[in-house]
Structure 1
Amino acid sequence: IDAKARIVPSDPASTSDKAPDLRVIVSGVEIGAAWRRTSKDNNTVYHSVKLDDPSFPAPIYANLVAVDDGYALVWSR
């Protein structure tokens, strides 16, 4: 996959507790969403991310975490 994605805030007007905090956009199309979470171990804030697109064989589940020079998207299979 070679695409530039933008992560933008979701619509703040949503009243659902399950609504994502962020949206993942590629070429103007939403391909994913992220929900703010806090780890139980050390109270670190991260985002739980789900990416999905018809070109993917299955959705990708990952965590977006802050690192020294920005953010890292971490997933495993």
Structure 2
Amino acid sequence: MNIGSFKSVNGQLLGSVATATIDLARLGLRPVESTNERAPAFEIMVLNVAKRWVQIGALWEMTSNSSGESFYQGKLDDPSLPEPLQIMLFGDAEEGYRVVWNRPTARRENLDGSRTGRRTRANTGDDFAGNATADGQIADANVNDPDYVPQM
């Protein structure tokens, strides 16, 4: 989903990002000068209420595995946000960039140590409420006893 854009204005990349709860009307991309290959390509700057530029994120240059297209990926983060906002920029400095929002998919580790985007759980039949049958009914005979405390 497109949530903003950046374009070149007097040699600077300026833009904005807006969602239902976020309105960052004045953003800038400041190029990072570094020889470190892991350094970001840009720092994301915002003009705050005191009219000062402060950094709220960074963007790294990436290349699409399928198309070979270059794009930038990073996040906006600030103590006022409930969580970081993952973004990607597509386009170029001459034509401008469109800002795309991306919700990361949580990766979870399976019991065998492999990773997946989906959560899996071994069905052992033991839960904190007692044993369950295949149709989800509690199989423990003591569960109706008011003094019964299931073993964890």
Settle same-fold status: TM greater than 0.5.
yes
Kindly indicate whether residue 42 of structure 2 is the aligned counterpart of residue 16 of structure 1. Answer: no
Scaled by the length of structure 1, what TM-score is found?
0.84
1:3-53 C-alpha deviation (Å, 9 max, x unpaired):
31001101x2x3433211101111210001000011011110100021100
CA distance in 1 between counterparts of 2:85 and 2:62 reads 17
Q: Structure 1 regions of 5+ residues with no counterpart? A: none
Q: Which residue of 2 aligns with 1:26?
A: 46
RMSD: 1.6
Between 1 and 2, higher relative CO (CA 8 Å, sep ≥ 6) is seen in 1
**Higher radius of gyration, 1 or 2:** 2
Scaled by the length of structure 2, what TM-score is found?
0.45
For these two proteins, the number of residue pairs brought into alignment is 74
CA distance in 2 between counterparts of 1:35 and 1:76 reads 15
Q: Structure 2 regions of 5+ residues with no counterpart? A: 1-21, 48-52, 104-152
CA distance in 2 between counterparts of 1:29 and 1:39 reads 30
Q: Could you say which structure has the higher strand fraction? A: 1
* Identity value in percent: 39
